[in-house]
Amino acid sequence: MIIIVMGVSGSGKTTIGSLLAEDLRWRFYDADDMHSEPNKEKMSAGNPLTDGDRAEWLKTLRNLLLQSVFSNQSVVMACSALKETYRQVLRVNAAVYFVYLKGTFPEIEARMQLRQDHYMSANVLESQFETLEEPAGALTMDINQPPAEMVAAIRAGLKI
């Protein structure tokens, strides 16, 4: 089984994804760690990524998920997965489930302004909301719940 915790930057993907993986005793991957240095530099400078910028990154993520499938290993991945076309790349089999962390622009902007030592500039948030195609069929979670409650709700919602 593969669970992709998705949403715009600052929605809590890494926090919730890592807690969920720990709770399930599954491997956790943060897709942000797999961006190229040029992509990280671009985002740090406040410039949004294009589909072209994301193409190799998505290919890398897909290959990682395929390796997990071939090794029969369940994983949780934190990944923005903003567009349906990106999610299609990541949907490597029928056992891929998306959990969408949903929040408003003001809520997430406030969170991002508090973050330290993260390459994603708060200035990029507006472009992320513009790019976001809310997923149909994903388990949707309100970001204002405490993390432990979100993890329990995800486990209940996905029956794991």
Reported pTM = 0.91
Query: Is residue 119 pLDDT above 50, yes or no?
Result: no
- Who has greater pLDDT, 116 or 89? 89
Give the CATH number for residue 137. 3.40.50.300
Q: Are strands 75-78 and 2-6 parallel, antiparallel or unpaired?
A: parallel
> pLDDT tens across 2-38, in order?
999 999 988 999 999 999 999 999 999 999 999 999 9
Count the domains in the chain.
Answer: 1
Provide the 8-state DSSP code for 123.
G
Q: Which domain holds residue 67?
A: 2-158
> pLDDT tens across 128-146, in order?
899 999 999 999 999 999 9
Tell me which of 87-91, 114-118, 152-156 is least confident.
114-118
What pLDDT does 44 receive? Answer: 77
- C-alpha angle 126-77-104 in degrees, rounded to nearest 5: 30
Provide the 8-state DSSP code for 48.
P
